[in-house]
Structure 1
Amino acid sequence: MRQAEKSEYPQHKYFSRYIEYSDSQDVIEMLIKQKEEVLFLMKNLSVEQQKYRYAEGKWSIQELLGHITDTERIFSYRSVCIARGEKNPLPGFDENEYMEAANFESQPFEDLLEQYRLVRESSIALYRSMTEDVASRMGNANGFAVSARAYAWAIAGHEAHHLSIIRERYLG
């Protein structure tokens, strides 16, 4: 699947940054490598590392893992809707409101890691199944025109962004 063109996604500071985050030419390969990296990085974290917050009001690694998984679920859902020709606008979401409603801190870390793995494998299968024609279909999400393909790149870029933060600020 080729990278989304600028006309296929909003030039919003977050969305465009996620898509442009990678120099990879193969989003499926990137998603697979990220999955392996996350599972390797997180499987041996101590409870203290899982719960660590680098500053007051910041999410823990456990919460970040839940957030990454939730965001991928939402982006994949939007991608499916657009790929299938949905004409109705798809709603946005507020990551902070979702975090307040989530119970990531009370869930076993191993369960969150398994949810991440399953969601990622589902996303990989979804994007592998898309032809270029299907992947380039346009829809409306959060008030912006966006292609189904753009969400594959946004998922990869969103995770790359958070992995960078985890390495720098949590595990430094």
Structure 2
Amino acid sequence: MPLHVNKPTPEEYPSMYQPYMDQLPANEEILPLMEKQVKDLRDLLQDLPDERAAEGYAAGKWSVKELLQHLVDSERIFGYRALCFSRGEETPLPGYDENKYVTTSQANSRTLKDILDEYELVRRSNLAMFQSFKEKMLDKTGIASGRRLSLRGLIYLIAAHERHHLNILKDRYLQHHQ
């Protein structure tokens, strides 16, 4: 039986993420949405030449490849946090410096296809893990980056983070590449 993840209450995630959460559709099941996000991202970028994917929309901004690598890195980190929370980990989990991760990733030396393939594998791995959870586990909480959130809130945050960056890709990057 597929896992149903109720929408988290605002108390289940840090308030700084509310703008991200507001970008999610109101009445859509989160796990099927996360599955669809993989296809939507591929569809959005399928015609973007590799050279263009190595460019930012403005000076000092991440390239498309770097933004995608950020999604891969964040997906991995959030997935690890979800595993820890689901298993009752009580040790606070560290944050990470997203800019340092992007700078050291060498994303622009990779092909767009390779990064998209990696993103899909990491997302599918996380979805398989989420499907192994029982609904009662979703209430478990943990601390990451100095903030408490529930496992349910974290799952929604993964989808909301991806949606946030998908919107940035559409609004800021791809308008400049048409």
CA separation in 1, counterparts of 2:80 and 2:22? 21
- 1:115 is the counterpart of 2:118: yes
1:83 is matched with 86
Q: Provide the secondary structure at the position in 2 that maps to 1:87.
A: coil
Tell me, yes or no, if the aligned pair for 1:135 and 1:149 is still in contact at 8 Å. yes
Residue 31 of structure 1, aligned match among 23, 34, 52:
34
Name structure 2 gaps, 5 residues minimum.
none
Tell me, yes or no, if the aligned pair for 1:90 and 1:142 is still in contact at 8 Å. yes
Describe how 1:98-137 pairs up with structure 2 within 5 A.
Answer: 98-137=101-140
2:61 is matched with 58
Q: Provide the secondary structure at the position in 1 that maps to 2:81.
A: helix
2:168 is matched with 165
Residue 9 of structure 1, aligned match among 9, 13, 24:
13
Name structure 1 gaps, 5 residues minimum.
none
Deviation at 1:35, TM superposition (A): 0.7
Q: Provide the secondary structure at the position in 2 that maps to 1:86.
A: coil
2:43 is matched with 40
1:19 is matched with 21
Bigger shift: residues 15-24 or 72-81 = 15-24
1:13-32 deviation per Cα after TM superposition (whole angstroms, max 9, x unaligned): 2x232233212431101101
RMSD of equivalent CA atoms: 1.3
Tell me, yes or no, if the aligned pair for 2:50 and 2:111 is still in contact at 8 Å. no
Deviation at 1:43, TM superposition (A): 2.6
Tell me, yes or no, if the aligned pair for 1:19 and 1:153 is still in contact at 8 Å. yes
CA separation in 2, counterparts of 1:115 and 1:89? 27
Bigger shift: residues 133-142 or 24-33 = 24-33
Tell me, yes or no, if the aligned pair for 1:2 and 1:25 is still in contact at 8 Å. no
1:125-163 deviation per Cα after TM superposition (whole angstroms, max 9, x unaligned): 122222221111011111111111111111111111111
Deviation at 1:37, TM superposition (A): 0.5
Tell me, yes or no, if the aligned pair for 1:86 and 1:139 is still in contact at 8 Å. yes
The amino acid of 2:19's aligned partner reads R
Tell me, yes or no, if the aligned pair for 1:24 and 1:30 is still in contact at 8 Å. no
Deviation at 1:120, TM superposition (A): 1.0
Describe how 1:66-81 pairs up with structure 2 within 5 A.
Answer: 66-81=69-84
Tell me, yes or no, if the aligned pair for 1:18 and 1:155 is still in contact at 8 Å. no
CA separation in 2, counterparts of 1:60 and 1:168? 14
